[in-house]
Amino acid sequence: MQPQYALVAGCVLLLSLIWGGSRPAQAQVAPDEPAMTIEESEETIETPGQAEEELERQFSLQEPGISGLVIDRTVTMTGRTFYRQFSQLSLERPVLNNVVLTVHERPSARWGSQVWITRDNNRVVYQATMSPRLSDIDGYVQAAVEQVENLVIRQTLTEALADDPDLADEEL
């Protein structure tokens, strides 16, 4: 076996150990079938270019990944309901599909819950104090989605128009 093929086989074995769990030497099979080892189940690579193609196919980073997230940092039932409704409405807005948003909550027995939404760089894009009643959440969610979408559009345009290599990014 040539050294480059041994390296590829070693990488595949190492990855199967990492991803495969506690039974690295056996493939997942039905109970009535005999177990096959990894070496028996893999095809041998014949040409040098085939190894690179196979690795490129298995570990292709050209596929689109996660483009946007809405992260839940809420505590109470009111906050979680706000988060669920906000994340559902933000899925329908294409502008909000490309940003990472975090929904935070600070509950207060006296004033209700303070909810704020931050963007990728921890910039607050929405803030409100909600009453504990679940019936009021729809209005807050609708206002939050509209305000966050408008601010994301405005910030994206500002960043695109003010792209100066001599200036640093905005800091806290």
Q: Count the neighbouring beta carbons within 10 Å of the beta carbon of residue 151.
A: 16
Pair (150, 125) in one structural domain: yes
Query: Domain for residue 46, yes or no?
Result: yes
Q: CB burial class (10 A; 0-12, 13-18, 19+) of residue 169?
A: exposed
Do 52 and 81 lie in one domain? The reply is no
For residues 105 and 80, give the distance between their C-alpha atoms in angstroms, rounded to a whole number: 9
| Domain region containing 118 | 69-161
The three-state secondary structure class of 84 is helix
Are residue 76 and residue 146 in the same domain, yes or no?
yes
> Does one domain contain both 75 and 126?
yes
Residue 168 lies in a domain: no
pLDDT (tens place) for every residue of the chain, 172 residues total? 455 545 555 555 555 555 554 444 444 444 555 554 544 545 565 666 777 777 666 665 555 666 789 999 999 999 999 999 999 999 899 899 889 999 999 999 888 999 999 998 788 999 999 998 889 999 999 999 999 999 999 988 888 887 777 766 665 4
Domain count, the chain: 2
Q: Tell me if residue 98 falls in helix, strand or coil.
A: helix
Query: What pTM was computed for the model?
Result: 0.59
Angle, CA of 113, 117 and 120, to the nearest 5°:
155
Q: Do both 74 and 139 map to the same domain?
A: yes
Q: Are residues 79 and 49 in the same domain?
A: no
